[in-house]
Structure 1
Amino acid sequence: MTGELREAAEPTRSEGATYYGRPVIKEPVWKVPDVPAYLYLGGMAGAAALMAAGAGLTGRPGLARAGRVSSGIGATASVAFLVHDLGRPLRFLNMLRVFKPTSPLSVGSWVLAPFSALAGAGAVSAATGLLPRLGWLSSSAAAVLAPAMTTYTAVLLADTAVPAWHEPYRELPFVFAGSAVASAAGLGVVAAPAAQAGPARRMAVAGSALEVAATRRMQRRAGMVGEVFGQGRAGRLLRTAEALVVAGSVTALLARRSRIAAVASGLCLTGAGLATRFGIFEAGHASARDPRYTVEPQRLRSR
């Protein structure tokens, strides 16, 4: 082989680091907006169930009703988006045929199915006033599953080979939890009477602080993969989410005396939750397209 042919056949230094410039893994085939909406709605529903349970125990019926209705609607819509992405309802039912504790997908399916049924029953009772005792029991049972409902989708993403989802596997559940708490609190601030919405306002501030802190930590600790969270469409979405969540938490503090502030807070926190899920979803696609983010972290770990 001549020198020219050998040079043409051998990968360059940059190509060698990126498998000849080709993707090493396939991009996720999940649909947009189905999966990001499923991620947002499920998390919000879980946090809303906890908000409703706390409000019920502290004598705030208006906030409890808002939380129960938000939880039921969010969980039902989350299942609808998931089924639409799967293509056929039977595929979702097939995931319930067995229970595998080692599989985040299996565990998540067994969290989503009973939570949605329980939260939906509680929401119907809260909205109609029918069977109040049964509705309260259903909502209380949903609240037991709520912590898992709020974070299991982050574990599901982190269990994949997609670099932007797998590398920050420690931080991603905290990002989703903070975002879910802030989103549910925003709905509580809007829907509950101002005199009863104090816990929702405090949830908005706490959830926003957790989301911002966890997102920044995620970007730092992801190493070179963290670049994708600040670039392109993913970067724009996540910067928008941070701006909205800060604005939503600030206006939540003013919502006790201003209905306009309450609505503004709810809109900001809802928009932030959606932007966070869409941004992280887009970051995953970007990291899968660029083989550097698959190859280089593996090489660093093998040294």
Structure 2
Amino acid sequence: MSESSRPGREALTGVATGRRKRGEQPVVPDSEFTSYYGKPVINGPVWHSPDIPGYLFLGGLAGASSLLGAGAHATGRPKLARAAKTGAFSAVSLSLAALIHDLGRPARFLNMLRVLKTSSPMNVGSWLLAAYGPLAGASAFSALTGKLPRIGATATAGSALLGPGVAAYTAALISDTAVPAWHDGYREMPYVFVGSGATAAGGLGLLTAPEKECGPARNLALLGTGVELAAFQSMEKRLGMVAEPYREGKGGRYIRAGKILSVAGAAGSLFGGNRVIRRLSGAALVAASAATRWGIFHAGKHSADDPRYTVVPQRERMS
């Protein structure tokens, strides 16, 4: 073979490089996708369960609960405010504990606070948690003890201001990876996470507060459920084959359970006159949010392990 007939560096393997003429019969059949011994083509996430899915779930619960607590505080619903503020601080504390446990050493979290890098969702999230945690703690302390009401009110407002960021930044965190099911869903993932967090916070309010103060919690739960389900449906439709891990395997089972629990919890919350049904609905909504986060986590891991979800969409875009 002469030098001029050899393929250059830009030659593509396994991809059609020209159009077949009408009526022309292929000499070699179209090849199917394979990878080197079936090995993944990207390095999958090294995060572990239950630490990271728990961290994702609890962060959303904390951020949305701070918003609910601030609203209940402003409208004179002390028991709902107390439950939401306490829930927010408990959730963010457990979320931090799960993150640090997965990191292996507390110093690794503190090292992220040495700089502020706005292009890094993990770095921005670390600063958010570092600022939000003390505010949520002061707000919960004041609500539980009745002491330092002015400081408590200021902390409540501050935690409510940071709450949406705490609930949403983990969506940017996972979307900023090469994991196909996470990265390709970057448009809808923040809405899924914020809606899921609102569902959990509303469910916690229904579970812990008296009926006469549950109106805001019920409204938040219904709004969160609607946003989460609509955003997830839109994401699955847009992703095409990359959405398969959200319907199959362990991730698919968690996602289906989350959808069923969301619908059941939202429907049950409308029958607030019955205390047992209301509390069962609240528990179902909290569980639905957790199931969604576990499903997203396992779907992402599956999509990283299977090279089809990385290579086939790339070839389709090249075509």
Q: Normalization by structure 2: what TM-score?
A: 0.88
The equivalent of 2:166 in structure 1 is: 149
The equivalent of 1:193 in structure 2 is: 210
Distance 2:278 2:234 in 1: 29
The equivalent of 1:3 in structure 2 is: none
Equivalences for 1:104-253 in 2 at 5 Å? Answer: 104-253=121-270
Deviation, structure 1 residue 25: 0.9
Conserved? CA contact 1:178–1:207, under 8 Å: yes
Amino acid at match of 1:293: Y
Q: Hey, which of these two has a bigger chunk of helix by percent?
A: 1
Conserved? CA contact 2:128–2:165, under 8 Å: yes
Conserved? CA contact 1:19–1:291, under 8 Å: no
Equivalences for 1:246-265 in 2 at 5 Å? Answer: 246-255=263-272, 257-265=273-281
The equivalent of 1:7 in structure 2 is: none
Conserved? CA contact 1:204–1:249, under 8 Å: yes
Offset from partner CA, 1:161-182 (integer Å, 9 cap, x none): 0000001100111111111001
The alignment status of 1:66 with 2:83, answered yes or no, reads yes
Conserved? CA contact 2:60–2:193, under 8 Å: yes
Runs of 4+ in 1 over 3 A off after TM superposition: none
The equivalent of 2:54 in structure 1 is: 37
The equivalent of 1:14 in structure 2 is: 32
Distance 2:167 2:33 in 1: 41
Offset from partner CA, 1:241-295 (integer Å, 9 cap, x none): 000001111111112x111012101110111011000000000010001001011
Deviation, structure 1 residue 238: 0.4
Conserved? CA contact 2:252–2:295, under 8 Å: yes
Amino acid at match of 1:13: S
The equivalent of 2:286 in structure 1 is: 270
Amino acid at match of 1:223: G
| Identity value in percent | 51
Q: Unaligned stretches of 5+ in structure 2?
A: 1-12, 15-29
Larger radius of gyration between Structure 1 and Structure 2: 2
Conserved? CA contact 2:142–2:148, under 8 Å: yes
SS in 1 for 2:259: helix
CA RMSD across the alignment: 1.5
SS in 1 for 2:99: helix
The alignment status of 1:285 with 2:301, answered yes or no, reads yes
Distance 1:41 1:227 in 2: 26
Offset from partner CA, 1:147-168 (integer Å, 9 cap, x none): 1111100010000000000011
SS in 2 for 1:78: helix
Conserved? CA contact 2:33–2:312, under 8 Å: no
Aligned residues: 292
Deviation, structure 1 residue 140: 1.1
The alignment status of 1:298 with 2:319, answered yes or no, reads no
